[in-house]
Copies of this chain bind each other. A is one copy, B any other.
Amino acid sequence: MAFLDSDFFQPLDSALVSGDPEAIRAAAAAFNAADLAEFIEHTHDEDGRHGLKLLQSLPMELQAKVFGYIGPDMQRVFARLIPNRELAGIVTDMSADERADFFNLLDENQQHALFQSLASREREDLRRLASFEEGTAGALMTSDYAVVSSGMTVASALALLRNTAPDKETIYQAYVVDQDHRLIGVISLRNLITSAPGAMVDGLMATGLVSAHTHTEQEEVARLISRYDLLALPIVDDDERLVGIVTYDDAMDVAEAEATEDMHKGATVGRLETGLKTASPFSLYRSRVQWLVILVFANIFTGASIDHFQQTISSHIALLFFMPLLIASGGNAGAQSATLMVRGLATGDVTAKDWGMLLGKDILVATGLGLTMAAAVTVVGVVKAGPDIATVVAISMLIVVLMGSIIGMLLPFLLDKLQFDPATASMPLITTIADVSGVLIYFTVASVVLGL
Q: Which residues of A contact B (CB under 8 A)?
A: 1-3, 30, 32, 34, 158, 161-162, 165-166, 171-172, 189-190, 193-194, 208, 210, 220, 223, 225-229, 231, 248-249, 251-253, 255-256, 259-260, 262-264, 266-269, 275-277, 281, 284-285, 288-289, 291-293, 295-297, 299-300, 302-304, 306-307, 310, 313-314, 317, 320-325, 327-329, 331-333, 335-336, 338-344, 347-351, 354, 358, 361, 364-365, 368-369, 372-373, 376-377, 380, 401, 427-428, 431-432, 435, 439
The winner among A34, A324, A333 for most chain B CB atoms within 10 A is A324
Query: 10 pairs across A/B with beta carbons < 8 Å?
Result: A32-B208, A32-B210, A158-B193, A189-B193, A193-B193, A288-B336, A295-B329, A303-B320, A324-B439, A427-B427
Is B364's CB under 8 angstroms from A281's CB? yes
- If A300-B325, A427-B267 touch, whether A284 touches B344 (CB-CB below 8 Å) is no
Is A226's CB under 8 angstroms from B256's CB? yes
Please indicate the chain B residues that have their CB under 8 angstroms from the CB of A3 in the complex. 220
Bound form: Cα–Cα A190–B288 in Å: 48
Is B317's CB under 8 angstroms from A313's CB? yes
Is B275's CB under 8 angstroms from A303's CB? no
Bound form: Cα–Cα A249–B302 in Å: 48
Is B302's CB under 8 angstroms from A325's CB? yes
Is B269's CB under 8 angstroms from A336's CB? yes
Please indicate the chain B residues that have their CB under 8 angstroms from the CB of A225 in the complex. 252
Min CB–CB distance A192 → chain B (angstroms) = 9
Please indicate the chain B residues that have their CB under 8 angstroms from the CB of A275 in the complex. 344, 347, 349-350
Bound form: Cα–Cα A262–B342 in Å: 13
Is A263's CB under 8 angstroms from B368's CB? no
Q: Say whether chain A's binding surface is mostly helix, strand, loop, or mixed.
A: helix
Please indicate the chain B residues that have their CB under 8 angstroms from the CB of A267 in the complex. 332, 335-336, 338-339, 427
Bound form: Cα–Cα A237–B30 in Å: 23
7 nearest CB pairs, A to B: A302-B324, A267-B339, A259-B259, A299-B325, A275-B349, A229-B249, A303-B321
Is A165's CB under 8 angstroms from B194's CB? yes
- If A171-B190, A336-B288 touch, whether A320 touches B313 (CB-CB below 8 Å) is yes
Is B428's CB under 8 angstroms from A263's CB? no
Q: How many copies of this protein are present in the complex?
A: 2
The winner among A208, A300, A376 for most chain B CB atoms within 10 A is A300
Min CB–CB distance A33 → chain B (angstroms) = 8
**Residue of B226, B262, B322, B332 touching A292 (CB-CB under 8 A):** B332
Is A347's CB under 8 angstroms from B190's CB? no
Bound form: Cα–Cα A229–B69 in Å: 10
Is A324's CB under 8 angstroms from B269's CB? no
Is A281's CB under 8 angstroms from B340's CB? no
Is A348's CB under 8 angstroms from B2's CB? yes
Closest to A351 in B: B2
Please indicate the chain B residues that have their CB under 8 angstroms from the CB of A348 in the complex. 1-2
Is A299's CB under 8 angstroms from B193's CB? no
Is B193's CB under 8 angstroms from A277's CB? no
Is B252's CB under 8 angstroms from A369's CB? no
Please indicate the chain B residues that have their CB under 8 angstroms from the CB of A220 in the complex. 2-3
Is B292's CB under 8 angstroms from A369's CB? yes
Please indicate the chain B residues that have their CB under 8 angstroms from the CB of A300 in the complex. 325, 380
Min CB–CB distance A157 → chain B (angstroms) = 12
Is A317's CB under 8 angstroms from B325's CB? no
Min CB–CB distance A77 → chain B (angstroms) = 19
Closest to A259 in B: B259
Is B339's CB under 8 angstroms from A269's CB? yes
Is A229's CB under 8 angstroms from B34's CB? yes
Please indicate the chain B residues that have their CB under 8 angstroms from the CB of A223 in the complex. 1
Min CB–CB distance A105 → chain B (angstroms) = 20
Is A284's CB under 8 angstroms from B323's CB? no
Please indicate the chain B residues that have their CB under 8 angstroms from the CB of A341 in the complex. 276
Is B344's CB under 8 angstroms from A328's CB? no
Additional 5 contacts, C-beta under 8 A, given A165-B190, A172-B172: A189-B193, A276-B341, A299-B329, A300-B380, A306-B323
Please indicate the chain B residues that have their CB under 8 angstroms from the CB of A193 in the complex. 158, 161-162, 165, 189, 193
